[in-house]
Amino acid sequence: MTWQVTQTGGSFSGTMTLTDIGTNVTGRGTVSGSVSGTSIYGSCTANVTGTGGAASTSINGNYTGSSSCGGAIGSGLLTLIKQ
């Protein structure tokens, strides 16, 4: 996992990259949160479950769950494209 963030005062934001070492599939997203002393705190958390399938150049899936910021997630769609 790689984070590239910028801190301004007590806040940070940036991008993150995750790579599954078993399949070499990579996902990218944004991160943000706050800093207090030596601790960092994220803005939101999400818990999801779902199903998906892998092809030679992509992974596609559907998920449902909940977010601490937005409540219920009714029909999420995940698409990861190999670059």
Q: Where are the domains of the chain?
A: 1-43, 46-83
What local confidence, expressed as pLDDT, does residue 72 receive? 81
34-64 per-position pLDDT tens digit: 888 888 777 666 677 888 888 888 888 888 8
Model pTM?
A: 0.46
Q: Cα separations (Å) of 21 from 24, 44, 47, 51, 82?
A: 5, 26, 22, 20, 14
